[in-house]
Structure 1
Amino acid sequence: MAKLNLFDKFVFFLNSIAATTLLLSYLLLYVEPKRFAFVSVLSLTVPFLIIVNLLFVIYWLLKVKKQLFLSLIVLLIGFNYVTSLYKFSTSKQLESPENIAVMNYNVRLFNLFKWIPDISVAKDISEFISDKKPDIISMQEYRHDDGLLLKGYYKFEMLSGDKIRNGQAIFSKFPIINKGSIEFPNTFNNAIFVDVVKGRDTIRVYNVHLQSLKIDASKDPLKNETSENLVKRVGNTFRMQQAQADLFLEHKAKCSYKIIVCGDLNNTAYSYVYNSIKGDDLKDTFVEAGNGFGRSFDFKFFPVRIDFIMVDDHFEINGFKTFNVKLSDHFPIMSTVKVK
């Protein structure tokens, strides 16, 4: 530190705070929100902390200072965290006639309240899906809309609410032989599932929509709410998400079929609920086959990935893509998988 001028000493002080905070955040995968809700809120800041520490590495590298090793070592320790935000490898795209294309899309009620002006969202989503030709589609914040025209699909939907009936839906080109829902208490959010038959294989497809943080991506979350209230509200939401994830895992444990899990977890890949749902038996298809930023939510401040497609070890993951289609506040994601 003796060779640093006053300004660089201040920069290194800030660097130390950012590096320490990121290092501590690596433990959040194992911190139960119901016990430490306040601490678990930190998981939302991990993408920001990764980017900030990368900037500190670049700053010290340009100044040829050994202080670059602080953030560099912390980033290397959490390399799996970095690759959950950004994949440096090229996207894996293996073609096979046995591939199953699985899409997940939070459709935001098909623009019911005209968040996006002068656009027929249901019609445009229909055309997008017809172009991409997924075999299975998992939708959250779904409602019936005459503009949604999807041909050649079996469908299961579970809707609730009085004024605006909405919920989740699964579309499948493969016959559905069983279906059901996992009810979450005191909320309109839930999880649904279908069992589909492809050839000799029966596959369980889950569509999971955990409790929403209710943060408007187009606005500053602190503009109309104090930071204290925001942290308290998010902490309460994380506790609900943990209880919902536990209900899902209890249901999933009874399934003997090959499993695909899709959904909007309303939380990041650095959270307890993501870690508990993924567990040791599921693979995150973006981590295995994606590239670039895993951005699935249109948050204006930094890349956020809260939508996921996971599969168990019965599947090979042959591709993943995020589509920059602005028909919702989420971006559609699609993975191609093949039964081994």
Structure 2
Amino acid sequence: MKNLSPIDKVLYFINSILATLLLLSYVLHFISPATIPFVAILSLFVPFLMIINLLFAIYWLIKMKKQFLLSVTVFIIGVFFSSPFFKISSNNSSFNNDLKVMSYNVKSFDLFHKKKGSKEQDGYEFIALKDPDVISIQEYYLTNKNKFSFPYKYVKLRPKSKKYGMAIYSKYKIINSGSLDLKSTGNNIIFADILKEKDTIRIYNIHLESLRIKPNEENFGEENSEKLIERVSSSFKEQAEQTVQFLAHEQQWKGKKIVCGDFNNTSYSWVYNKIAKNKKDTYIESGKGFGKTYNYWFPMRIDFILTDKDAISNKFSTFSEKHSDHFAIMAKINW
């Protein structure tokens, strides 16, 4: 510190705080939000913290200062002990009998219709072109404009609504289905057992409690920062309770399964860590790039497709088409 200029001393102080926050974020997935909901907020900012610490490391390296070791060390710890926020290589192989599974929060289809006279695809045409075998839909809306042509479906509408809910559409016969009927009237977890050749595969469609963040508004749509933190903390606590309910239900199923949906939380959270335990994340297995699934300025991966340990993920895609505030994701899965 003696050889640093006054400006560099201030920068290193800020660097130290951000490095400490990043280090703390690595252990968050061991702490239930039901215990300390406020701390869980930090999990949303892990990609941002990693990028900032990387920039600090580059800054100190350019200036040939040993202070680069702080951010580099914390960053390397994250590479080995946390979920990656960027994948360089991917697995593009596929087989003819792969099961193509898509997960998509469609935001009630409100952007699925193309403008009058437009030659661009609408959301329904986009899904038809990608041709998934199974699609799990969050924020489903019952409408006669729905252009899906899947022969089988399971739709579960909210208790107090005749229009909104969740859905699973499938090219393969659905032989069993159900709902966990979460206490929240806006979110739920449903499942469908599909029959593919001789295999019965359970598809879980998860939509955990929303943070109700409005990214384009001041204080993310809340009257002040204190109210925002209180609301987000409450949502994280609700997510933890929903996760416990899901895990209890999942334990009863011993066959092949795929768990997908909108977790409304990142891969650095306790929620993700619990649900993904003993499973494969298809983005980590075969994805590429940031895997960004939410339309925001920094990369947020809050939508997932997970499989059991015996499955093979041959290809994972995150699509950039903006038919919702989420981006669709799809994986080719085999056993």
Q: TM-score, normalised by structure 2?
A: 0.94
Q: 1:337/1:80 Cα in 2 relative to 1: closer, same or farther (>3 Å)?
A: farther
Tell me what 2:273 maps to. Answer: 275
Tell me what 1:293 maps to. Answer: 290
Amino acid at match of 1:62: I
Query: Deviation per CA, 1:145-180, whole angstroms, max 9, x where unpaired?
Result: 222212243111101255662111001111110000
Amino acid at match of 2:11: V
Tell me what 1:254 maps to. Answer: 252
Tell me what 1:97 maps to. Answer: 96
Tell me what 2:134 maps to. Answer: 136
Amino acid at match of 2:285: E
Shift of 1:314: 2.4
Which consecutive residues of structure 2, in runs of 5 or more, have no partner in the other structure?
A: none
Amino acid at match of 1:211: E
Amino acid at match of 2:167: A
Amino acid at match of 2:44: L
Tell me what 1:6 maps to. Answer: 6
Amino acid at match of 1:310: L
Task: Report % sequence identity.
Answer: 45
Q: Considering only aligned residues, what root-mean-square deviation do their CA atoms show, in Å?
A: 1.9
Q: Distance in 1 between matches of 2:10 and 2:131?
A: 54
CA contact (8 A) 2:99 2:334 kept: yes
Q: 1:63/1:164 Cα in 2 relative to 1: closer, same or farther (>3 Å)?
A: farther
1:336 aligns with 2:332: yes
Shift of 1:201: 0.8
Q: 1:299/1:221 Cα in 2 relative to 1: closer, same or farther (>3 Å)?
A: farther
Q: Distance in 1 between matches of 2:29 and 2:76?
A: 17
Amino acid at match of 1:142: Y
SS of residue paired to 1:77: helix
Which consecutive residues of structure 1, in runs of 5 or more, have no partner in the other structure?
A: none
Amino acid at match of 1:288: E
Q: 1:179/1:323 Cα in 2 relative to 1: closer, same or farther (>3 Å)?
A: same
Q: 1:116/1:176 Cα in 2 relative to 1: closer, same or farther (>3 Å)?
A: closer
Shift of 1:293: 0.8
Tell me what 2:57 maps to. Answer: 57
Query: Deviation per CA, 1:2-41, whole angstroms, max 9, x where unpaired?
Result: 2211111111111111101100111100111111111111
Query: Deviation per CA, 1:164-200, whole angstroms, max 9, x where unpaired?
Result: 6211100111111000000111432110000011111
CA contact (8 A) 1:213 1:266 kept: yes
Q: 1:224/1:206 Cα in 2 relative to 1: closer, same or farther (>3 Å)?
A: closer
Shift of 1:115: 11
Q: Distance in 1 between matches of 2:296 and 2:132?
A: 26
Tell me what 1:30 maps to. Answer: 30
Q: TM-score, normalised by structure 1?
A: 0.93
CA contact (8 A) 1:91 1:319 kept: yes
Amino acid at match of 1:247: Q
Tell me what 2:301 maps to. Answer: 305
Q: Distance in 2 between matches of 1:80 and 1:104?
A: 28
Shift of 1:84: 2.8
Query: Deviation per CA, 1:47-70, whole angstroms, max 9, x where unpaired?
Result: 211111111111112212221111
CA contact (8 A) 1:53 1:71 kept: yes
Q: Distance in 1 between matches of 2:296 and 2:201?
A: 33
Query: Deviation per CA, 1:251-293, whole angstroms, max 9, x where unpaired?
Result: 10000210100110001111111111111x1111111111111
